[in-house]
Amino acid sequence: MKAMVYRGPYKVRVEEKDIPSIEHPNDAIVRVTRAAICGSDLHLYHGMMPDTRVGMTFGHEFVGVVHEVGSSVERLKPGDRVMVPFNIFCGSCWFCARGLYSNCHNVNPNATAVGGIYGYSHTCGGYDGGQAEFVRVPFADVGPAPIPDWMDEEDAVLCTDALATGYFGAQLGDIAEGDTVVVFGAGPVGLFAAKSAWLMGAGRVIVVDQLDYRLEKARQFAQAETVNFTEHDDIVVAMKQTTDYLGADVVIDAVGAEADGSFLQHVSAAKLKLQGGSPVALNWAIDSVRKGGTVSVIGAYGPLFSAVKFGDAMNKGLTLRMNQCPVKRQWPRLFEHIRDGYLKPSDIVTHRIPLEHIAEGYHMFSAKLDGCIKTLVVPGT
Amino acid sequence: MTPIPKSDGDVSRHAAYLPGEPNRRVDREALRARIPGWGADVDPADRPSVPRLRYDPSASGAHWEFPERQPERWPRERSIEHAGLPPVFGTSTPPRGLSGVLRRHAYARYSEGRAAHWLLLIAADRIDAWESHLASFATLRPDNPITETGVLAEFDRHGLSSRIGQRRADRSHLWLDPIVVAGPWLLAGAGAVAAARALRRRRAR
Ligand SMILES: [Zn+2]
Ligand SMILES: [Zn+2]
């Protein structure tokens, strides 16, 4: 089969690999029909995630058709159309028994602090991902779900991470009716978080980014107010001014480890890999939220330390909430919202590329060329 | 873009300095008219993440108390914060070469709580990349930094117009990217040329 393969920082190519085989009785092998490149794939691509090995296939956002199932699989059979959450989880450990599906203890030997994620380095369990023609899906009776008949395949692939994570970010904010919600980052997750904030009753939603084309999308797709931080000397002051000096009730960090805006932070984290991530957006969030407010973190950070302004968070009495999204818990409600027409996730897709062009796809997304917001990968074309 | 108001200098005119109302008032009808679905999840008790940490092992679909164990086909490196090897794990890219030795050491010796663990793994990543680049030159498909960086997308995906005339924070360090990516290749290339010349000179003598 053909698969995307990592060759070192900033380098990927398509290689011929063996079709994955059943390694556990509850495994399934899925033939991928749509995959996506995610902003967090860029952390791997840039070599920021420890234990990212040459030869690994990335891709944690994919849907497809069941090709083969292991002997203990009861709920799926070959030929089923399935969507697969980016989390790999057993469903039965102490954490899964309490709904913490993104924090499973039975699927990642390499780290106890992280659950299992497809195609996301050995730090997340060493699983090959779905930017390939076939992928191994562990715990087939627990993770994947059939794609509802009425659902478009492209909407389904966005439910496997970006939409679920954005919606989860808004939930972590504990938004009350009328709250002012600021979202840092107008990538796919930020756009979905902004849209979800309205569903939870926000009175005002403000999206902050540096790219005008993405802010344009935030106005259209998420009906949000927008602020380009490069137009302001100090974005924290601008956030105070626009909230009558209160600060926002809830701030969502949908940027994560490669935040730009401070040369020192960006270069020390993204180029020199001396931090677990550049906390520029997180520090802006801490300083822009009101005292007693909530900061929700859904941007991804690596396991090394980051220079976070913890004193401000303590002195302001903030609630900091964060996690990798437990995707499958979000699905029943998200399916309702998609069906009711409140959410149309595939509206944010800007590019569709064949698997063969994946190297150009990564560069385009990484360098933010051609108005790129979300790129889908179509294997076998 | 949202216009940002400037202060008139009198704090008594701004919300933060006054008690305000107990709850924010919103015009629900206007919001619903403007934003399809506004308030569909307004009840905090009716959101998928509520209640938190609800004990319900049957909700996941798991039909085992502890999963069967996947066979361990090679000694699987693991965090020493685990009690042993968990039952299911990824089998991509087993450790090999010098980077593999470093990785195994990082796992065997240091917990996730130690910076040494992660710094060793990052060092191993850099070594792995160079081991792999060198090994690729002994194959029919050597690494090609032009095609593998996808840099040709600069031409058919509007590299110039995506940047010119845009205020982008990444412009301040854009000049670093070619150095970070191409620099080591140029150095390696120059090194190879120098070595070849030295060899030729020695042979000529
Ligand atoms: Zn993702
Ligand atoms: Zn589990």
Number of domains in chain B: 3
Q: pLDDT by residue (tens digit) across A138-147?
A: 999 999 999 9
Torsion of CA A332, A336, A338, A342, to 10 degrees: -130
Q: Is B77 found in the same domain as B110? A: no
Q: Is residue B155 part of a domain?
A: yes
Identify whether the C-beta of residue A173 lies closer than 8 Å to the C-beta of residue A181. yes
What pLDDT was estimated at residue A349? 97
Q: What is the distance in angstroms between the CA of the first residue and the CA of the last residue of chain B? A: 72
Substitution target in A13, A22, A110 with the highest count of B β-carbons within 10 Å is A110
| Number of other CB atoms surrounding residue A263 within 10 Å | 12
Domain that holds residue B199: 144-164+174-205
Q: Is B131 found in the same domain as B70? A: no
DSSP state of B9: S
Interface contact A9-B122, CB threshold 8 A: no
Please give the residue that has the higher pLDDT: either B174 or A297: A297
Residue B178 has pLDDT above 80, yes or no: no
Percent of chain B with pLDDT over 90: 62
Residue B5 has pLDDT above 80, yes or no: yes
Paired strand residues for A81: A65
What pLDDT was estimated at residue B169? 66
Q: Is residue B101 part of a domain?
A: yes
- CA distance linking residue A140 with residue A91, whole number of Å: 11
Paired strand residues for A377: A35, A353
Q: pLDDT by residue (tens digit) across A363-376?
A: 999 999 999 999 99
The answer to whether residue B42 neighbours chain A at the CB level (below 8 Å) is yes
Q: Is residue B188 part of a domain?
A: yes
Q: Is B66 found in the same domain as B134? A: no
Q: Is B113 found in the same domain as B134? A: yes
Q: What is the distance in angstroms between the CA of the first residue and the CA of the last residue of chain A? A: 13
The answer to whether residue B74 neighbours chain A at the CB level (below 8 Å) is no
Q: Is residue B52 part of a domain?
A: no
- CA distance linking residue A327 with residue B161, whole number of Å: 37
Q: Where are the beta strands (DSSP E) in chain A?
A: 2-8, 11-16, 28-37, 62-69, 81-84, 87-88, 116-117, 134-137, 145-146, 180-184, 204-209, 225-228, 248-253, 289-297, 319-322, 351-354, 375-378
Q: Which long-range contacts (CB under 8 A, 24 or more apart) does B8-17 make?
A: B11/A245, B14/A244, B14/A245, B15/A243, B15/A244, B15/A245, B15/A246, B16/A244, B16/A245, B16/A246, B16/A247, B16/A290, B17/A245
Element (H or E) spanning A282, and its range? helix A280-288
Residue A233 has pLDDT above 60, yes or no: yes
Which structural domains are found in chain A, ordered by start?
2-161+326-378 (3.90.180.10), 163-322 (3.40.50.720)
Identity of the amino acid at B133: H
User: Chain A residues with CB inside 8 Å of B99's CB?
Assistant: 53
The answer to whether residue B132 neighbours chain A at the CB level (below 8 Å) is yes
- CA distance linking residue A202 with residue A313, whole number of Å: 23
Residue A271 has pLDDT above 70, yes or no: no
Nearest Cβ partner of B92 from A126, A260, A302? Answer: A126
Q: Is B4 found in the same domain as B28? A: yes
Phi/psi of residue A31, nearest 5 degrees: -85, 120
Nearest Cβ partner of A228 from B38, B124, B167? Answer: B167
pTM recorded for the entire structure? 0.92
Residue B56 has pLDDT above 80, yes or no: yes
Angle between helices A162-172 and A327-339 (to 10 degrees): 100
User: Chain A residues with CB inside 8 Å of B44's CB?
Assistant: 174, 176
Q: Is residue B192 part of a domain?
A: yes
Q: Is B86 found in the same domain as B1? A: yes
Nearest by Cα to A135 from B92, B201, B72? B92
Q: pLDDT by residue (tens digit) across A299-332?
A: 888 888 888 999 999 999 999 999 999 999 999 9
ipTM of the complex: 0.93
Which sign, positive or negative, has the C-alpha torsion A186, A187, A191, A196? negative
Q: Is residue B150 part of a domain?
A: yes
The answer to whether residue A234 neighbours chain B at the CB level (below 8 Å) is no
What pLDDT was estimated at residue B185? 73
**Ordered alpha helix ranges (H), A84-161:** 153-159
Identity of the amino acid at B85: L
Q: pLDDT by residue (tens digit) across B142-170?
A: 999 899 999 888 888 777 777 776 666 67
Count of residues in chain A: 381
- CA distance linking residue A298 with residue B120, whole number of Å: 27
Q: Is B106 found in the same domain as B65? A: no
Nearest Cβ partner of A109 from B89, B130, B149? Answer: B89
The answer to whether residue A91 neighbours chain B at the CB level (below 8 Å) is yes
Identify whether the C-beta of residue B108 lies closer than 8 Å to the C-beta of residue B77. yes
Nearest by Cα to B113 from A268, A95, A113? A113
Q: Pairing state of beta strands A225-228 and A204-209?
A: parallel
Q: Is B153 found in the same domain as B133? A: no
Q: Is B82 found in the same domain as B9? A: yes
The answer to whether residue A352 neighbours chain B at the CB level (below 8 Å) is no
Nearest Cβ partner of A99 from B53, B143, B181? Answer: B53
What pLDDT was estimated at residue B49? 86
What pLDDT was estimated at residue A193? 98
Residue A125 has pLDDT above 60, yes or no: yes
Q: pLDDT by residue (tens digit) across B61-92?
A: 999 999 999 999 999 999 999 999 999 999 99
Q: Is residue B53 part of a domain?
A: no
Phi/psi of residue A216, nearest 5 degrees: -60, -45
What pLDDT was estimated at residue A262? 63
Please give the residue that has the higher pLDDT: either A279 or A257: A279
Q: Is B154 found in the same domain as B137? A: no
Q: Is B151 found in the same domain as B133? A: no
Interface contact A177-B39, CB threshold 8 A: yes
Q: Is B77 found in the same domain as B13? A: yes
Q: Is residue B6 part of a domain?
A: yes
